[in-house]
Structure 1
């Protein structure tokens, strides 16, 4: 797994710097904070080293694993692919998470229909997502609305990346159409066939 390799290289970097990789259960909050700062420095070092070595597939795998904050890993990687005009890498990086958010939303809609509960687009579009996020309860319509918002956020970010990289207009139009269909909840699983790019 790429994350395991990535972590090993961070530990190796720490050892080369004479920094202990051992963690104590009795460490103070200050020690914990210092250790975290060192780990983040090592993460940046290995991240940049792998970029230099063009280990894009492994970096994408790490980003997909969700081990790191998106702002610290996913976004800098996407920005790098845009800068280097690496469209296929950008597609593989971004499409997977978009597809998963939409598929999870569609599965939940189908499950509720199978249970005899018809959650219409109008109900989801009119749902108070901000209020629901403050609640401690679970409501299927709230979860569907959350998946929709996450998918829309990812799609909007992706469209911005595609504009910067000057992607093929036909491909960009496919992504815009998917975004529009997620917005009004007319999206179907068959619409996602065009976003399954792999290396």
Structure 2
């Protein structure tokens, strides 16, 4: 399945930001995730932080903040977790085709002192996602005007398409076709490509004399 736009994602990075004041044993599998999934034909975004085997030493806490932002900002979440058995915190959002969504997640192990959170291990992720129909469809016929029997080249291309039709027949999402022109080839050629989020089309005309 394809997703549109150049959408860079900064995946989970574990950062050592220790404080000399405190050095708990780290949680195992402290992981931040910023990703998407499909459900019932709709795209969903989620950002969360999960952990396991947290050191249960008195004072050790896990701070988790996640945020999903669309044209209207969604609420950020802030959790303080002391359960040593593991768990996760975060949220998900059903996305629409078109808007750009930004999301992030941050988790850290540490403790509170004087209203300040001191962390020893942190993990975070962030990224942007946009779900769109295929883009940059192109059909090029060269030369566009020919005589009967002349060679013709049709080149087509698309971006982020799962499948394409050329004049109603299934075809690769990009390619080249060469042939010798006949009078019956004098017409418009239509490329239609689709993915889970919609379809787009492009066309070009060949004139045969």
Query: TM-score scaled by structure 2?
Result: 0.22
- Decide which structure has the larger Cα Rg and report it: 2
Higher helix share: 1
